[in-house]
Structures are given as structure tokens and as C-alpha cells.
Structure 1
């Protein structure tokens, strides 16, 4: 890395990663994972929690 390059900040959690995404990225995620929006989560923290559950991960892997 050269002296003028800044290190890329790595999200510390899935919720932090979701908060950093733009609308198009969130839309793509939710289109590919409709299980995450039923019922509609109250906020991105709840969405991240739901996405990290064992059942949600298994559904994603089965797709």
C-alpha cells in the first residue's frame, strides 16, 4: 500500500455492513432473499439478526 492509500474499513457486524449499503444493494439482497422481509423487519439491526439465524442461513444455502 502506498502512503496516499487509505485502508478500507471492514464492517464489524452484518448490521454495520447493511447500514453502509446503498439502496440498489439492499434491493438486490432483499430480492434474492425474500425470507428476510416476511414479516417486515423494523430496522436494519433486526434484518441483520434475522439474516444471521441458523434457519435463515440454511434457507440461503438451499437456494
Structure 2
């Protein structure tokens, strides 16, 4: 049943329209920004520092 419904949604283009509606509504209600902030809070400082250092090294090599 699930496969049949999914197939029909894809065939008619309704799946993409629903995905776009979902994206729009999540942005409107601030959910996307909240999720971003939540994810940032879960990244350890050591990982952030390492990534920043790698970016600096890359930029130094490029110039």
C-alpha cells in the first residue's frame, strides 16, 4: 500500500509539491532555525576548533 501511494505521489508530482510546502512551513514557523541552533550546540568545542584550524590552513595555502 505504501509503495503504491508513494508511486502515485511521484508520478503526479505531488510528492515534490508536498516537500516544498513542508520546507516553506518549517521555515515560516522557525523550526529550521531552531534545529540549526540545536545542532550547533551539540558540536563539541574541540571539533569546532579543529575545523576552524583546518579552514585557516586551507586559506593560508591558497594565498
- Same fold by TM (over 0.5)? no
Normalised to the residue count of structure 1, the TM-score between the two structures is 0.28
Work out which structure has the larger RCO, using CA pairs closer than 8 Å and 6 or more positions apart in sequence.
1
Higher Rg of the two aligned structures: 2
**Going by fraction, where is helix more abundant, 1 or 2?**
2
